[in-house]
């Protein structure tokens, strides 16, 4: 049975849960933040977190407005994080005009979040080709059919586009559209947050040394400073 209190708006302000989970301290983490992210990602996957690779991408448009939306991360390696989308979408326009972005991973079952900021660039074409080829055919046709972020008349218009595209391709291989591909975010800072009792949460921030010289250039270097932040 559904708990009516769970849907009472007045309940939101009083909702509290003390986080009894294990803490996060310097001896618990590894020096490389990407390796630390992989540890937490593995634990989130094992704990049954829904869509553990989902994250909120934060971008800024030319007028200074911030924008957030969920995406799925498809790669996490020594370069940074990779995700795929339409290159003509609102987010891609924003990433082009302001090539810095934030990523927020949230694993609520574990009372954890990871914040990342970094420089973005398009991934090499071959990498987008390879990922596109691995997608289900329906998603491939969908990528060709949807002018992501543009106003469209109605649902029917979209469904007709999909039908037309599917008919155009027939049984042929669906090649990647040039307007669809991957972005790479090269991190310059991470923050690992672990919920703790009485709101005395643990926060460890990693900063790439020498990364932000104010020139807006791409991050260089591989040495990370780790600091504890007040909750
Ligand atoms: C859980 C989740 C995962 C998503 N993953 C992607 C993704 O990997 N790529 C993508 O283009 N859109 C994805 N979306 C849709 C985006 O949130 C967004 O609606 C779309 O990319 C258009 O955003 P934009 O207009 O800001 O460019 C996802 C949405 C959700 C809720």
The answer to whether residue 197 sits within a structural domain is: yes
Q: Encoding tokens for residue 108?
A: 């609520």
The answer to whether residue 216 sits within a structural domain is: yes
Return the residue whose CA atom lies nearest to atom 13 of ligand 1.
Answer: 71
pTM above 0.85, yes or no: yes
The answer to whether residue 133 sits within a structural domain is: yes
Structural domains of the chain, count: 1
The answer to whether residue 35 sits within a structural domain is: yes
What ligand 1 atom has the least distance to the C-alpha of 70? Answer: 17
**CATH number, domain with residue 213:** 2.30.110.10
Tell me the catalytic residues: 199
Distance CA 209, CA 222 (A): 7
Return the residue whose CA atom lies nearest to atom 28 of ligand 1.
Answer: 71
For residue 116, the enclosing domain spans: 21-228
Is the CB of residue 85 below 6 angstroms from any atom belonging to ligand 1? yes
pLDDT, tens digit only, all 231 positions of the chain:
445 445 676 777 776 666 656 789 998 899 999 999 999 999 999 999 999 999 999 999 999 999 999 999 999 999 999 999 999 999 999 999 999 999 999 999 999 999 999 999 999 999 999 999 999 999 999 999 999 999 999 999 999 999 999 999 999 999 999 999 999 999 999 999 999 988 899 999 999 998 655 555 544 567 999 999 999
Q: Helix 155-169 to helix 137-145 angle, to the nearest 10 degrees?
A: 120
The answer to whether residue 57 sits within a structural domain is: yes
The answer to whether residue 13 sits within a structural domain is: no
The answer to whether residue 165 sits within a structural domain is: yes
**Distance of CA 70 from the midpoint of ligand 1 (Å):** 5
The answer to whether residue 16 sits within a structural domain is: no
């Amino acid at each position: 049975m559904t708990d009516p209190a769970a849907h009472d708006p007045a309940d939101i302000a009083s909702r509290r849960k003390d986080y009894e989970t294990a803490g996060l301290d310097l001896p618990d983490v590894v020096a490389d933040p990407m390796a630390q992210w992989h540890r937490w990602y593995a634990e989130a996957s094992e704990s049954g977190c829904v869509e553990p690779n989902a994250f909120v991408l934060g971008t800024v448009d030319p007028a200074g407005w911030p924008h957030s939306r969920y995406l799925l991360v498809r790669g996490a390696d020594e370069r940074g994080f990779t995700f795929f989308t339409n290159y003509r979408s609102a987010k891609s326009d924003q990433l082009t005009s302001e090539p810095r972005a934030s990523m927020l991973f949230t694993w609520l079952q574990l009372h954890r979040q990871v914040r990342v900021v970094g420089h973005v660039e398009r991934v090499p074409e071959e990498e987008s080709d390879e990922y596109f080829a691995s997608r289900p055919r329906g998603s491939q046709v969908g990528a060709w059919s949807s002018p992501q972020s543009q106003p469209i008349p109605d649902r029917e218009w979209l469904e007709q586009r999909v039908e037309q595209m599917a008919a155009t391709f027939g049984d042929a291989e669906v090649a990647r559209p040039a307007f669809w591909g991957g972005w790479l975010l090269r991190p310059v800072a991470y923050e690992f947050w672990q919920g703790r009792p009485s709101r005395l949460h643990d926060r460890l921030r990693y900063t790439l040394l020498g990364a932000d010289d104010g020139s807006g250039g791409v991050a260089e270097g591989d040495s990370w400073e780790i600091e504890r932040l007040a909750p």
